[in-house]
Copies of this chain bind each other. A is one copy, B any other.
Amino acid sequence: MYLGVDYYPEQWPKSRWPEDIRLMKELGVNVVRMAEYGWHLIEPEEGVYDFSLLNEIIDELTENGIKIVLGTPTAVPPAWMVQKYPDILPADRNGRPISFGGRRHYTVNSKVYQRFTEKVVRKLAEKYGHHPDVIGWQIDNEFGHEKSDRSYGNEDRTSFWFWLQNRYGSLEAVNEAWGTAFWGQTYTEWEQIPLPLNVYQQHNPGLLLDFDRFCAAGYTAYSKLQVDLLRETISDHQFITHNFVFNEQAINQRDIAENLDFVSSGNYPAWGSGPEPATPASIAMQHDICRSTKEGKGFWVMEEITGAQGWNHTGYLPRPGQIRLWTYQAIARGAEAILYFRWRSSRFGTEQFSHGILGHDGKPKRKFEEVKETIAALKTFGDEWVASDYIPEVGMYYEVGNAWAWRIQPQSRAFDYKQELLRFYYGAYHLNSATCIVSPKSTLDGLKVVIVPVYFLTDPDFTDKLKKFAAEGGTAVLSYRSGLKEPSNALTELTLPGELAELAGIHVEEFEALQPGQQTRIRGTTGNIKDILSPATVWCDIIKSISADVIGVYRDAYYEGEPAITRNRYGKGVVYYIGTAVEEYFLMRLYKDIFKEAGVGMIELPDDVEMVVRTGTGGKKFLCLLNHSTTASHRLTLPKGHWKDVMTGEIFNGVVRLPSLGSYVLMQ
């Protein structure tokens, strides 16, 4: 498997390169990613190309057996271009241009920038498209990151009109979809449609959601422009990927990924001034999202954390053992290659405190040793492990448009979409069931349970799939605020949960948004949750059962005793509706009932411990055991059979002890 580093040779004197390469070889590196911020290097002035520095370092690296992933350099238009063509700059939500001096200072809607992109990508493809040691391409870097997703300038405005014309065909259709009769905002010419710049109140949610779609579509088109150009020229053995960021920005990773060979992303469980790293479950969910972007295809971690990270502030320092732990977790959940970020901490620029494997002094220390040991271990069993399969049984719905719709209208100040996803993910994670993320385009075949948290913005295709899935015997878990919005972001005219009412066998009679600090309670009435109480936060649906059984009721407020959780038979399947944001452990207890009935594999381990099973050829099982605790060690009972530690060869049968931050791969 590929194990490497992110390297910025242009930031260091050439005299240092040999020492860098010597240390990389000592580390075990077989690939580096380079040049994603290198436009100024290869086109130092308009139309003048110079590949000498790139040639030189590529030669030095490849002579030492290190392969290359080349970045197209479009994440940073060079200074001369901004000076000459300032209209390529994006504009902030006040319509003011973003200044040169950071990164990602371009709008995808700039025709001029598209033209420059074409030229530079073509030149690079011609130059390295058939280089035997250039194994692939990363186009641009972190599309849409750091608010670069939405641009509010003049070219964006014109492009928005054009996009709307394509989408809707007529202004009548726009007016109808957005319901512009509200507040008398009917448009009679395309040029009347505003970008969502500052109003005294809030813009039409239909316009806002379409603006997000438009922004995402711009990136999809821009990415396709690069991919298509590369494919024209490069050899078949070279792959094309992009280093994604998975958050709620207005880009559509799945759409972009359709044209890529595989997906890549960064893995930064600690960033900025955060005093603690992300929770293990949230990292796991991130990997599941990443792997599911191309429906289970393995991905690359193009930037794997190796030290405290941040710009003007840093926080948590990853503990000894944690680099390996996070590396194993990523591979267990689908990563096929790991590139550590960054080779050496930069002496200059915004990322001076984004610490790398080497510190500013360039000397190998503790982190170097940890990465070295990790790479050495992976060289012994990584290829086989990576070749094995991760076979999901539980799917969770996540669609980026739903995230945008929630961002536009969070409805309760206590609502954070990622947090709600995690609430519904946690139980499955804790039970160590095999999870994946599904979207409207995904097949649900093979899944036993599909969890659909806060399915606010509906997708008719997915709704149909879900009905079919349940009808044919699958188990669906729905939550509060399901079925509200039509794709246009208009509210359904149906009684909630709208198109899902029959599926869930309920009507939502009323509802209340709870704010931060507010809570009511619910009590379970059957099975594992019988007489168990849970706080209910964020939102309370007051439910009327039509055909469903009530399995949880409210304890407080004027709706005490009213149904809060229901279970409905639908065709051959079962549909749960969870009408309020219950506590994660409560949900996990409920999941135990649900999963058991649905035949989902599960095993309950100590809180800190994560177990991921993969299946190789001939039914060979890989068990990855991760103890995320920085202080506690844990003894745990293994699944039946003899398990061999892939590193030491030691055989375990029954119980194994995991030290704090310990990570093991066992085989059977």
Which one of A40, A195, A518 has the highest number of Cβ atoms from chain B below 10 Å of its Cβ?
A: A40
Q: Which residues of B contact A101 (CB under 8 A)?
A: 185, 194, 196-197, 199, 203-204, 207
Q: How far is the CB of A372 from chain B (nearest CB, A)?
A: 17
Question: What residues of chain B lie closer than 8 Å to A39, measured between beta carbons?
Answer: 184
A80 at the interface (CB under 8 A from B): yes
Q: Which residue of B lies closest to A367 (CB)?
A: B510
Known A-B contacts A99-B198, A348-B206, A491-B352; A40 and B80 likewise in contact (beta carbons under 8 Å): no
A562 to chain B, nearest CB (A): 12
**A408 part of interface (Cβ distance < 8 Å):** yes
User: Provided the pairs A183-B103, A198-B99, A320-B558 are in contact, do residues A203 and B515 lie with their beta carbons within 8 angstroms?
Assistant: no
Q: Contact: A558 with B76, CB < 8 Å?
A: no
Contact A408 B312 (CB under 8 A): yes
In whole Å, how far is A424's beta carbon from the nearest beta carbon of chain B?
Answer: 22
User: Is there a chain B Cβ closer than 8 Å to A410's Cβ?
Assistant: yes
Task: Mark A183-205 against chain B: 1 for CB-CB distance below 8 A, else 0.
Answer: 11111110111111111111111
Query: Does A14 reach chain B (CB closer than 8 Å)?
Result: no
Partner of A509, one of B180, B365, B513: B365
Which of A197, A362, A494, A558 neighbours the largest number of chain B CB atoms within 10 Å of its CB?
A: A558
**Chain A 483-513 per-residue mask, 1 if CB under 8 angstroms from chain B, else 0:** 0000000111111100000000000011111
Question: Which of A90-98, A386-394, A635-643 is found at the contact surface with chain B?
Answer: A90-98
For A80, A201, A366, A408, the residue with the greatest tally of chain B CB atoms inside 10 Å of its CB is A201
Number of interface residues of A (CB under 8 A): 114
- Chain B residues with Cβ under 8 A from A203's Cβ? 101-102, 350
Query: Bound complex: CA of A197 vs CA of B86, how far in Å?
Result: 14
Given contacts A40-B186, A275-B515, A195 and B99 within 8 Å (CB-CB)? yes
Q: How many copies does the complex hold?
A: 3
The answer to whether B192 touches A347, judged by C-beta atoms less than 8 angstroms apart, is no
Choose one: B8, B199, B314; the contact of A98 (CB below 8 Å): B199
Interface residue? A620 (CB, 8 A): no
> Does A47 reach chain B (CB closer than 8 Å)?
no
Contact of A198 among B10, B92, B273 (CB under 8 A): B92
- Asked whether A317 is an interface residue with its Cβ less than 8 Å from the other chain, the reply is yes
Minimum Cβ distance to chain B for residue A52 (Å) = 15
Q: Taking the complex as formed, is A572 at the interface, i.e. its CB lies under 8 A from any CB of chain B?
A: no
Cβ-based interface call for A83 (8 A) = yes
Interface residues of chain A: helix, strand, loop or mixed (majority): loop
Q: How far is the CB of A180 from chain B (nearest CB, A)?
A: 8
Which of A92, A105, A202, A513 has most chain B Cβ within 10 Å?
A513
- The complex places the Cα of A275 from the Cα of B33 at a distance, in Å, of 51
If A8-B181, A204-B349 are given as contacts, then 15 extra A-B residue pairs at C-beta distance below 8 Å, sorted by A number, are: A10-B181, A11-B179, A37-B184, A78-B184, A79-B186, A83-B191, A101-B185, A101-B196, A105-B200, A183-B349, A202-B311, A313-B513, A314-B411, A346-B491, A361-B495
Pairs of residues from A and B, 8 with the lowest C-beta to C-beta distance, nearest first: A179-B348, A182-B349, A102-B199, A102-B201, A79-B192, A99-B197, A317-B512, A37-B184
Query: Which residues on A are within 8 Å of B, measured CB to CB?
Result: 8, 10-11, 37-41, 44-45, 73, 76, 78-80, 82-83, 92, 94-96, 98-105, 146-148, 178-189, 191-207, 273-275, 308, 311-317, 319-320, 345-353, 359-363, 365-366, 408-413, 490-496, 509-515, 517-518, 558, 630
